[in-house]
Amino acid sequence: MKNLKVALIQHANTSDTAHNLAKSIEGIKEAAHKGAKLVVLQELHRSLYFCQTEDVDMFELAETIPGPTTDKLSEVAKSLGVVIVSSLFEKRATGLYHNTAVVIEADGTIAGKYRKMHIPDDPGFYEKFYFTPGDLGFEPIQTSVGKLGVLVCWDQWFPEGARLMSMAGAELLIYPTAIGWDPTDDQQEQQRQLDAWVIVQRAHAVANGVPVLSCNRVGHETDPSDNSQGIHFWGNSFVTGPQGEILAHADSQDEEILLADIDLNRSENVRRIWPYLRDRRIDHYQDLTKIYRD
């Protein structure tokens, strides 16, 4: 398949997990009705972004893979004939949890999963309390619509993950995301943060010659601890082509089913013109395995 219609489901969330999942599923159905063959859901789409605080009760949100959510999404995928990328709070074992993206094939089977490798620990984003870093590496997942390089949120700031996925044959880079503004930041700082987020991911497309799909949530979510003013998730889900060109871009406030048509032949043509993989000097990159060059 060389021409692929994709969809990103950007929406706000509530504390009602059943409601959130139903909203995601309705979005998948509408996207499929409009011709999408690959549908991407935002990071941790079943719940509020619970990592604003460290609360042991939040581990109750975790589930196994396969489990209740993947069972429901598998039924949806099979009935509609679409590939779904879902981001879940995975319970691997008692006391062992991951931030995991699971890919469900169009026949309802689980094609594979990716466990988030880079785990942030910042005010309002206390993910190290909840998630063990991934142990599956940067391995693309083969599906009927192509080889998907799935990563998650904080991974999007690191060029190494995008490069390794591309080197392993990923035809698309996909980032389920939950990122937003601190409401106390001024408008200029908020714009700088948003611009940086878009630029770094467009750069992954350019540097690797592959399209990028980034799906974020919208809406304000309060801080349960009242230590902050919460997070205003900035939306702006987008799809690029292999030169970083914007194919579709959602706004910062509205729920949206963002659709885009991707010509996968363009990656082949772009890589012939800009052969970065050919010209990489791997004989001089040894220091990249160091944290820092002192």
Amino acid at 265: N
CA distance to 50, 126, 159, per residue, from 200 (Å): 25, 22, 8
Inter-CA distances, 245 with 129, 187, 200, 209, Å: 37, 26, 13, 11
Integer angstrom CA distances of residue 100 from 1, 57, 176, 247, 288: 27, 19, 10, 27, 26
Residues with catalytic function: 43, 116, 153
CB of 179 within 8 A of CB of 216? Answer: yes
